[in-house]
C-alpha cells in the first residue's frame, strides 16, 4: 500500500502503608522500610514490563501516534482531513512523516504497524535518543510543584546520567532545578516523547515520569542556568489555568499525576 491514504480510505496503585513486627535483630521500622522499598521496586518493574500498544510522540507540539490498531481516540484524528496516515514501516516513511509534521497544514499523524513497540524502536534508531526523568511533586497541603521555563509552565525533569536509575535521576533533577527534596516515589507515571533539533541532530526525548511526595513546602530556588525563571507551589484547585500555557505533552503528564493524586486523597 502507498504511504498516504486520503480520508475516504481510512475507515492506582498507592504507596504502601503497613505495620511490621520486630524480627530478630531488625526493628519494626527497619522491616517496614525494607518491605516498602521492595514493594516500590516491584511496582516500577511491573510498569516497565507493560506491553506497548500505542505511543504518542509530540513533534512541534502536535501528536504523532504510533499504533498497532486503531482505537477510538485515534479514529477521531483519522476523521480529520489534516491528519497524515502511514502504514508502511521503513526509513523513508519515518523521514516523510516527520517532515509532514513540520507543516502548519498538518494537525496530527498516525503511523500504524503490526507491532507498536517495534515501531517505536524504529523511531529510536532513526533519531538520536535522549533519556530523561522528572516528577509531579506534591506536598501534604495539596499543592503541586511547577516551574516556568522559556515562556511556558513546565515540570522539573532532566537528562539521565550514565549508570543512573530513572527514579534517582528524577529526584536529582527536581532538587537541582527547584531546591526541593523528594522524600518518596509514590508511583511511576507515563513515559512521554517529543522531538526537537539540537545543532545538526534530530532528538527524540524519552522522559520517564513519577508521582512524588515531599514532606514540606520548602523554599524554592530556580536553576537560572537551565532557563528556569521561577518555581511555584500551585494549589490543586487553581491548576487548570496553568495548563493553557504548557506544552501538550506536559499537560498529559500533569493530568495523570493530578488524577492519581486525587485518588490517593480519598
Q: How confident is the model over 54-83, as pLDDT tens digits? A: 999 999 999 999 999 999 989 999 999 999
Q: Interhelix angle for 116-126 vs 91-101, to 10°? A: 80
Collapsed DSSP state (helix, strand, coil) of residue 108: strand
Question: DSSP 3-state assignment of 59?
Answer: strand
Question: Which residues, 6+ apart, have CB-to-CB distance to 38 below 8 Å?
Answer: none
Span 141-152, pLDDT tens digits: 889 999 999 999
Confidence (pTM): 0.80
The whole-angstrom distance between residue 95's C-alpha and the CA centroid of its chain comes to 24
Alpha-carbon torsion 229, 255, 112, 159, what sign? Answer: positive
Q: Taking a C-beta distance cutoff of 8 angstroms, is the pair 58, 195 a contact? A: yes
DSSP 180: P
Range name among 32-36, 150-154, 169-173, 192-196 with the lowest pLDDT average: 32-36
CATH superfamily placement of domain 129-265:
Nucleoside Triphosphate Pyrophosphohydrolase (3.90.79.10)
Average of per-residue pLDDT values in the chain: 83
What CA–CA distance (Å, rounded) separates 216 from 218?
6
Q: How far apart are CA 260 and CA 264, in angstroms?
A: 6
Torsion angles phi and psi, residue 10, rounded to 5: -100, 90
Instruction: Write down the pLDDT at residue 65.
Output: 97
Helix (H) or strand (E) holding 167: helix 166-178
Exposure letters 129-140 (e unless 16+ CB within 10 A, then b): eebbbbbbbbbe
Between residues 148 and 14, the one the model is more confident about: 148
Alpha-carbon distance 253 to 211, whole Å? Answer: 10
Question: How confident is the model at residue 263, as a pLDDT?
Answer: 86
Cα(236)–Cα(258) distance, integer angstroms: 8
The segment(s) of the chain belonging to CATH 3.90.79.10 are 129-265
Phi, psi values for residue 246, rounded to 5°: -135, 155
| Cell numbers for 109 | 499523524
Tens digits of residue pLDDT in 108-137: 999 999 999 999 999 999 999 999 999 999
Amino acid at each position: 500500500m502507498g504511504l498516504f491514504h486520503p480520508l475516504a480510505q481510512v475507515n492506582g496503585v498507592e504507596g504502601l502503608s503497613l505495620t511490621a513486627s520486630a524480627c530478630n535483630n531488625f526493628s519494626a521500622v527497619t522491616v517496614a522500610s525494607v518491605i516498602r522499598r521492595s514493594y516500590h521496586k516491584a511496582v516500577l518493574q511491573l510498569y516497565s514490563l507493560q506491553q506497548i500498544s500505542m505511543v504518542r510522540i509530540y513533534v512541534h507540539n502536535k501528536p504523532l501516534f504510533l499504533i498497532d490498531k486503531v482505537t477510538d481516540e485515534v479514529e477521531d484524528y483519522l476523521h480529520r482531513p489534516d491528519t497524515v496516515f502511514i502504514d508502511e514501516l521503513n526509513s523513508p516513511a519515518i523521514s516523510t512523516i516527520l517532515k509532514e509534521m513540520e507543516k502548519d497544514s498538518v494537525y496530527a499523524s498516525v503511523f500504524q504497524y503490526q507491532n507498536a513497540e517495534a515501531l517505536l524502536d524504529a523511531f529510536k534508531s532513526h533519531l538520536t535518543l535522549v533519556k530523561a526523568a522528572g516528577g509531579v511533586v506534591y506536598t501534604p497541603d495539596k499543592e503541586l510543584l511547577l516551574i516556568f521555563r522559556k515562556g511556558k509552565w513546565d515540570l522539573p525533569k532532566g537528562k539521565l546520567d550514565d549508570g543512573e536509575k530513572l527514579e534517582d535521576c528524577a529526584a536529582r533533577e527536581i532538587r537541582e532545578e527547584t531546591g526541593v527534596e523528594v522524600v518518596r516515589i509514590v508511583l511511576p507515571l507515563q513515559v512521554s516523547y517529543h522531538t526537537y533539533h539540537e545543532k545538526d541532530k534530530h532528538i527524540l526525548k524519552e522522559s520517564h515520569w513519577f508521582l512524588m511526595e515531599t514532606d514540606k513546602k520548602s523554599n524554592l530556588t530556580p536553576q537560572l542556568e537551565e532557563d528556569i525563571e521561577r518555581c511555584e507551589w500551585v494549589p490543586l484547585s487553581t491548576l487548570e489555568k496553568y495548563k493553557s500555557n504548557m506544552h501538550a505533552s506536559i499537560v498529559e503528564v500533569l493530568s495523570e499525576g493530578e488524577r492519581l493524586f486525587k485518588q490517593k486523597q480519598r
